[in-house]
Amino acid sequence: GPDRSGAFFAKWWCVMAVEGYNVLALDMPGHGRSCEKPLPTRSGHDGDLVLAVLAAFGAGPERPVTCFADAGGVQAFLLALRARPALFGGHHVLLNPIVSDTAGADALKAVMEAEGIDLFVYIAETWGKGDQPMNVGLCGKFFEYCEAMPDRVEMVMLKCPDVHGIVVGQRPPEYMVGDRVPVKGVARRPAFYMLRPSDECIAEVMGYMQSPRKQPVVVVDVAAPSKTALEMGKVNENFRVFVRVRPLLKREEERGAVGCLKVSDVEGFPRAPPPQRIRVKDPRPAGQDKQLFAHHLFRGEFVFDRVFESDASQVDVFESVGKPLVEAALEGLNVTMFAYGQTGTGKTFTMDGPPGDEGLMHHSIHMLFAGLGGGKAV
């Protein structure tokens, strides 16, 4: 930032080298601000820059990359990870991660699950009493990432000694703090900032880094059957689906709308009456317009237990839908009847109906009380 230079992870490198890691430190021009001027026009290319530098140093599937990143540098890492996940190892450490948006959260989640990748994240409002404060709210977008993949992120909140703020520390205050190191000629400023992890912190992070990689999540595509059970001649009297076609409204007729459905019985079905097939088609006559809109000619066909066309009465619907259920209820069975559909398709009319043209509920209740007989409870 403009008031400090940082080498946050420098204390880690000796430990990492002893454990066999090669260390590559990268300061992002759009985030590290070594020139003290943000370069937002470059931030969209930060992921490509990370990948280019890694390629130059020979990173690849045989030499996977583990990333330590803080603040805005996290977005550069996540962009690179999403683009080339095979380059990266399974474990990564982030500090106060800042990302600009969550548009790629679902894609990142899919990559991390498919590759067995997870994140270990530290959040702190500041790394020391003399350090500049960090608004945890800046991590808000990253927290939205976490909501999409909670099983892929372990987050630890830290509060350094003698620091006040809203964050409640989950580790001792001395777990990881920051030091301002006054060394001339190393940084633009008279001193640079370096994190000082405790032995406990180093042990926890190294244990995480060396733990087995998560098992990838295998997504199994379940192919939908090409035909419904009814189309294959299978009878299921316990679950029945009916369709009622609403008549055209006056305003629809005034606009010239016409019906686009054709209903027919399913032939050869082992039940009487058989299920019905509803076919959705373009009602316009053949001609130039029909050629122009050829993809509208046929919209599909579907099979249901029965299709009530627009001239079906409330009594017709009750006789097929409600009456068998009330009879089953009178025999002591549990039954459910409900209407489902978009607003304006006729659910309320079918279930309730106006006075003199009552719907399923009215007819069902009358039949229920008529069938109970004296002294029986509902």
What are the residues whose beta carbons fall under 8 Å from the beta carbon of 52, sequence distance 6 or more?
none
Dig out the tokens for 347 from the structure: 């659910």
| Residues flagged as binding site | 341-348
Angle at 360 between CA 356 and CA 366, to 5 degrees: 75
Residue type, 128: G
| Interatomic CA distance for residues 96 and 167, integer angstroms | 12
DSSP per-residue codes, 173-228? TTSEEEEEE--TTTSSSSSEEEEEE-HHHHHHHHHHHTSPPPPPPPPPP-PPPSS-
- Give 47's contacts (C-beta < 8 A, 6+ positions apart): 75, 76, 77, 78, 79, 80, 82, 83
User: What residues have CB less than 8 Å from 31, skipping those under 6 apart?
Assistant: 43, 46, 71, 72, 73, 75, 76
Q: Are 191 and 181 in contact (CB under 8 A)?
A: yes
Whether 166 contacts 136, CB under 8 Å: yes
Burial string for 312-350 (b: 16+ CB within 10 Å, else e) reads bebeebbebbbbebbeebbeeeeeebebeeeeeebbeeb
Residue positions forming the annotated binding site for ATP? 341-348
